Structure 1
């Protein structure tokens, strides 16, 4: 069974989201997603300053098996991109919830409001066990 962190929230598309300040959310892919993809070899991420809507394409992730789209679990403006992943995409495999984070998004309003439609850890566990 894949690791699911209780303090995070999750999308049905297998992204995780974490409030890192009153109006900033950090986003990455789940351990389940990276296990399904296999060895990650390339990432395409948005530019800082890009506006993104909830469920918009956030970029692509390429593994030895396939290329998949990444989706934003929240709407807002990209304020940080984890550029270390460009040179070391394998960090997504080894630390999907740590050094493998992908972007930070400044949301309009509160993070609580922005994250309200996402799955809890328990709901995500149930989704991935189906």
Structure 2
């Protein structure tokens, strides 16, 4: 007697469908957890946020002529609150736009930049 060649394919199909059902149920559980505010919170890294600034202020925030001033000692010129205001609203009449980052990211970035003196 010859074995039916369809049986291995049917077995693989059944196992594949079973795996999809199990993973879908697992995904739904995770989706509900995320929607309910569960999960871990990620700490904001000021150096990662500062990557938004390097186009105008340079890779080490050393400034780029004609584009953006150095931010390496910006904390000696502005307070944390002033830096946050500049990040959020920009500086009128200059190339510094406002609103490039969220308010939470702006606060973290302002704290970090204020320490640069």
Give TM-score scaled by structure 2 length: 0.26
When Rg is computed on C-alpha atoms for both structures, the one with the higher figure is 2
- Greater RCO (CA < 8 Å, at least 6 residues apart): 1
Structure with higher helix content: 2
Structure with higher strand content: 1
